[in-house]
Amino acid sequence: MSGSISERINTVRAQLPPSVRLIAVTKQVPSDVIRAAYTAGIRDFGENRIQEAIAKQAELQDLSDITWHFIGHLQSNKAKKALENFQWIHSVDNLKLAQRLNELAQQIGISPCVCLQVKILPDPNKSGWSVPQLLADLPTLNQYKNLQIQGLMTIPPLGLNDQEIMAVFNRTRELAQEIREQNWPHIQMQHLSMGMSGDYQLAVEAGATMVRLGTILFGERGN
Ligand SMILES: *Cc1c(COP(=O)(O)O)cnc(C)c1O
């Protein structure tokens, strides 16, 4: 890892097609570093813990054109806070959560953008719809009119080689295409949220429209 935050951002940005949205994942990154990334031109930020994100958002209130993306597993009891503090939720990973978000969005009077998280391969460490379950749930999802369902999110299981990772990303793109061809009036499928620091180049090659990058911009996180 070398260079300043802005140099790293510029290097990565230059490798991405202009149409691909770069989401800077700032979990465990302090708000002054987020501010530096903002100054370098980033407007999309991703977080995976609600409390941590809210604390930093409070310190960054003056940066009013940030779009906040929630990318972590969302527990039902935090759904309201997520909706109040994030414009996008990439990690809607089951029907019950989608239903809860839709109800809350209606109560609050908002229409959040969401992605449906899908597991192309079985992965005990990750949540998300299996492909058959997602296809079965589409008629119900189509009724959640307060959600703007924008597309699919996926994270390949750990330990795959490049070819296997590429197959996961390609399958995700094909699945979005299959769903699009079903013409659900309330399900959009124009976005693919896929690609992290280790695999974003493959994801872009496979058609990602949003990449979620942490380590490559901010360095290794402590734990
Ligand atoms: C942490 C995280 C990222 C970023 O991962 P890096 O490997 O640090 O780029 C992307 N997506 C999700 C869901 C994450 O939790």
List pLDDT tens digits, range 81-117: 999 999 999 999 999 999 999 999 999 999 999 999 9
Does ligand 1 come within 6 angstroms of the Cβ of 90?
no
Cα of 25 vs centre of ligand 1, distance in Å, is 6
Q: Give me the percent of the chain exceeding a pLDDT of 70.
A: 98
Torsion of the alpha carbons at 42, 152, 108 and 38, rounded to the nearest 10: 0
- Nearest CA among 180, 192, 140 for reference residue 20: 192
- Segment 167-186 shows an average pLDDT of 98
Q: Atom 10 in ligand 1: which residue has the minimum CA distance?
A: 212
Does ligand 1 come within 6 angstroms of the Cβ of 22?
no
Does ligand 1 come within 6 angstroms of the Cβ of 63?
no
Q: Both tokens of residue 214?
A: 């942490």
Residue carrying the six token digits 């942490």 = 214
pLDDT tier for residue 3 given thresholds of 50, 70 and 90: confident
Q: How far apart are CA 27 and CA 120, in angstroms?
A: 25
In this predicted model, what pLDDT tens digit does every residue of 49-72 receive, in sequence order?
999 999 999 999 999 999 999 999
Does ligand 1 come within 6 angstroms of the Cβ of 154?
no
- Nearest CA among 150, 179, 29 for reference residue 91: 150
Does ligand 1 come within 6 angstroms of the Cβ of 9?
no
**Ramachandran region, residue 128 (left: φ > 0; alpha: ψ -120 to 50; beta: rest):** left
Cα of 216 vs centre of ligand 1, distance in Å, is 10
Residue carrying the six token digits 């899908």 = 118
Contact of 108 with 84, CB cutoff 8 Å: yes
Close Cβ partners of 55 (under 8 Å, ≥ 6 residues apart): none
Cα of 213 vs centre of ligand 1, distance in Å, is 6
Q: Determine the 3-state secondary structure of 142 from DSSP.
A: coil
Cα of 196 vs centre of ligand 1, distance in Å, is 5
- Nearest CA among 25, 10, 35 for reference residue 71: 25
- pLDDT at residue 222, as a whole number: 65
Output the CA angle 121-126-129, nearest 5 degrees: 60
Name the CATH architecture for the domain at 5-218: Alpha-Beta Barrel (3.20)
Contact of 169 with 203, CB cutoff 8 Å: yes
Where are the chain's structural domains? 5-218
Does ligand 1 come within 6 angstroms of the Cβ of 12?
no
Atom of ligand 1 nearest to the CA of 23: 10
Atom of ligand 1 nearest to the CA of 91: 13
